[in-house]
Structure 1
């Protein structure tokens, strides 16, 4: 097993770390750069995005011919973790959700002319995108088979009727990936489409208020009442919607974990800094056994999360699906993030609960981690299903040929 990084990946990691330290953290520290939804203002982030592009730190997740850096999932794991030392890091490098996952899947499934139409504007940062799958009850959530939104084919056009909600970034998105039902087949009844925000036949019903800070474009409820999508804007074949969803969500779940590890480390960093400077009852907080145990345990849990993420990234890079590896990483790192920020707030006391640090921001953001892209319970069921299928081989090591 190899745990060293290629020098090229380390070069990217080092340059991203410097960029975050010198360029992004100063903006994060100034509350005047926050918009009404507690994200960085588009005006503040625009010069950083241009500078990241100029320095070759743009779209690390894509192939060079698409406009990226071709780092692969292992390289992304290292660099995404470094990016999210700041709460505003990923968007500066065009590596934030949902654009991140949308770009990766569109790169895989679109031919060159359609990449020029739908993917290139996102890669270049000229437009943003959204992924419209989740629906209100009784529609689909973690179970896509419950999807109620329909796509009825009429000649060379699909007519969309239905409703979606909690669609991240919808209010600011121009290009959408949409999942809709084209038949009652339990495995092949869903189909994926592309549509543009300027097309008629759909609307944003509302921007849903949430507990935490929001991505640009919020989390919206969408209504489709006759949106017409030409057949050429279908993704893959009719009935391949579930396949496309799996292609997108597996890597996207893992990139969430990569970023959450960066936030977890930031929480420890803030907690350590305060514990080292704060005195109580005649000694530094950092000298107290209880505080040292809390920080030591977090250091261990973060390292466990990094290993889980890296194993899943390695499996994806070699062409595997990494279903159980991604599920393990998703559950562990989502819970780790919540624990890390909660511990950091506890160590910081009232300071951590205030807006004098980003801890309360991260705390509110962290609660969604156990829900987005599959709740903890769903991923644990995935793991149990794999355990039931493979038994003791669930834990097997692959053996190199000729070894």
Structure 2
């Protein structure tokens, strides 16, 4: 097994590292750089995005034909981790959720005409997007087959009615993908539709307040009351919505993990720096055995997470859905992020609890990690299903062709 990366990926990683260190991290200490919801404000974001484009660090996850950098999933794992050394990093490079996952699935599933209309403006940064799947109970959550929003075919249009909630980025999004039920078929009953924010027949009921900092556009509750979508704006094909969600959610879950590893490493970095300078009772914190054990354990857990993410990324690059690999990475890294932030705060004491460092931001943000894109318990259930089906084969290695 070869864990080396190509010189090109290393060159890109190093360029991202320099950009984050020199251009983005200094803004974290400027309270004027934040918007009302704890993210970087547009006035500071747009100049950074222009610089990222000029540096060739824009949309690295997409093919060069689409306007991206042509990274595979292994390359993304390396580069996304570096981007999220800063809490503001991913959005600067147009690699933040939900645009990240939406662009990747549109690149795979959209027709040429749909790419021109719906994908290209997101790639350029002209508009942002949202993916509307989750619904209030008893509608779909982690199980998209429970979708209650309906789409009725009427001639060359579909009429959509229903409700969605916790839709990330909806308040600032212009382009939407919405999942709706077109039949009662358990496998082919869902369909994905593309619509524009300016179309009538839908509205944002509220921006839902949350505990942590938010992506641009927040997390919103939407209602659909007769939204008309042309048949030409069906994505992938009628009845193929479940396949579309599988295409989108697996890679999107893994990109979350890639970014969360960056935040976990940053938490350790802040803790190390403070422990190295802070003295108590005549001893530096960094010399205390308990502190060294805390940091050593985190270093090990981060490396475990990196290996899980890299294996899942490699499997995706081989054409696998990598369901169990992604689930293992998702559970481990989500919990790791919370532990890293918590440990960082504990070592920094009151300083960590304050806004003098990004630790409290990361801590508030981290709690959602165990919920978004499937709760821990759902992913563990997926793993048990694989274990029951595969038995001892669950732990088998792929064998090279001779």
Give TM-score, length-normalised by structure 1: 0.99
Aligned counterparts of 1:215 and 1:349: Cα–Cα separation in 2: 28
State the Cα deviation string for residues 189-222 of structure 1 (Å, max 9, x = none): 1100000000000000000000000100000000
Moved more, 58-67 or 143-152: 143-152
- The yes-or-no answer on 1:209 pairing with 2:209 is yes
1:66 maps to: 66
Q: Give the Å deviation of 1:28.
A: 1.5
Aligned counterparts of 2:342 and 2:170: Cα–Cα separation in 1: 30
2:57 maps to: 57
State the Cα deviation string for residues 237-288 of structure 1 (Å, max 9, x = none): 2111010000000000000000000000000000000000100111000000
Aligned counterparts of 2:208 and 2:299: Cα–Cα separation in 1: 36
Aligned counterparts of 1:105 and 1:113: Cα–Cα separation in 2: 15
Aligned counterparts of 1:136 and 1:161: Cα–Cα separation in 2: 14
State the Cα deviation string for residues 313-338 of structure 1 (Å, max 9, x = none): 00001111110000000000000000
2:99 maps to: 99
2:36 maps to: 36
2:323 maps to: 323
Unaligned runs of 5+ in 2: none
Aligned counterparts of 1:385 and 1:75: Cα–Cα separation in 2: 30
Q: Give the Å deviation of 1:95.
A: 0.2
Q: Where do residues 2-401 of structure 1 align in structure 2 (5 Å cutoff)?
A: 2-401=2-401
CA contact 2:29–2:356 (8 Å) conserved in 1: no
CA contact 2:16–2:57 (8 Å) conserved in 1: yes
Give TM-score, length-normalised by structure 2: 0.99
State the Cα deviation string for residues 8-42 of structure 1 (Å, max 9, x = none): 00000000000000000111121110011010001
Aligned counterparts of 2:264 and 2:209: Cα–Cα separation in 1: 25
Aligned counterparts of 1:10 and 1:136: Cα–Cα separation in 2: 44
State the Cα deviation string for residues 131-171 of structure 1 (Å, max 9, x = none): 00000011110111211100011111100000000000000
Aligned counterparts of 1:45 and 1:277: Cα–Cα separation in 2: 33
Unaligned runs of 5+ in 1: none
Q: Give the 3-state SS of the residue equivalent to 1:162 in structure 2.
A: strand
RMSD: 0.5
Q: How many residues align?
A: 402
- After TM superposition, the runs of 4+ consecutive aligned structure 1 residues lying more than 4 A away are none
Aligned counterparts of 2:2 and 2:370: Cα–Cα separation in 1: 31
Aligned counterparts of 1:334 and 1:17: Cα–Cα separation in 2: 23
Aligned counterparts of 1:104 and 1:143: Cα–Cα separation in 2: 21
Q: Give the Å deviation of 1:111.
A: 2.1
Q: Give the Å deviation of 1:186.
A: 1.2
CA contact 2:167–2:219 (8 Å) conserved in 1: yes
Aligned counterparts of 2:124 and 2:228: Cα–Cα separation in 1: 27
Aligned counterparts of 1:397 and 1:302: Cα–Cα separation in 2: 23
Aligned counterparts of 1:138 and 1:261: Cα–Cα separation in 2: 33
Q: Give the 3-state SS of the residue equivalent to 2:153 in structure 1.
A: strand
Q: Give the 3-state SS of the residue equivalent to 1:65 in structure 2.
A: coil
